[in-house]
């Protein structure tokens, strides 16, 4: 699965789990970390964990496994590292505190209006 396709599929899965403020940022020209950051919020650590579980399960069904998962135990910020796509799932207050979108403001945002209800 190509990186953009993976990011869009994960965004669609997160939308199905009622994630808020789903954004995909193209970081390929700005960093060697990967090609895309996907950022999304949940209302509680329980929802953030459910979002992570859904993405991990559904992508595993398609043969795509993460390199690593960090932060699952606390649930305030979970990172699913899929090599070229790094998924950041936050509780809203944690997202506001770390403000990844501000830190990566030079990164172009991918249009997701065709697959998510709220961009």
At 50-88, the pLDDT tens digits run: 999 999 999 999 999 999 999 999 999 999 999 999 999
**Which residue's entry shows tokens 């990186």?**
3
Measured distance CA(34)–CA(13) in Å, rounded: 20
Q: Name the CATH superfamily for 3-103.
A: Beta Polymerase, domain 2 (3.30.460.10)
Residue 4: pLDDT band (50, 70, 90) is very high
Residue 42 above 60 pLDDT? yes
Domain ranges of the chain: 3-103
Q: What is the pTM of this model?
A: 0.94
Q: What is the pLDDT of residue 119?
A: 47
How far is residue 34's CA from residue 17's CA, in Å, rounded to a whole number?
25
pLDDT at 118: 61
3-state helix, strand, coil in the chain (%, to 5): 35, 25, 40
Residue 1 has pLDDT above 90, yes or no: no
pLDDT of residue 75: 95
pLDDT at 61: 97
Q: What is the pLDDT of residue 59?
A: 98
Question: Residue 11: pLDDT above 60?
Answer: yes
């Amino acid at each position: 699965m190509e990186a953009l396709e993976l990011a869009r599929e994960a965004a669609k899965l997160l939308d199905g789990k009622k994630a808020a403020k789903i954004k995909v940022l193209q970081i390929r020209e700005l960093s060697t970390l990967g090609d895309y950051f996907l950022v999304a919020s949940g209302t509680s650590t329980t929802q953030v964990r459910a979002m992570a579980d859904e993405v991990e399960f559904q992508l595993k069904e398609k043969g795509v496994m993460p390199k690593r998962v960090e932060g699952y135990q606390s649930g305030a910020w979970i990172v699913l590292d899929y090599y070229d796509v790094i998924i950041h799932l936050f509780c809203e207050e944690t997202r506001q505190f770390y403000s990844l979108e501000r830190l990566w403001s030079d990164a172009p945002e991918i249009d997701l209006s065709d697959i998510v209800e709220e961009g």
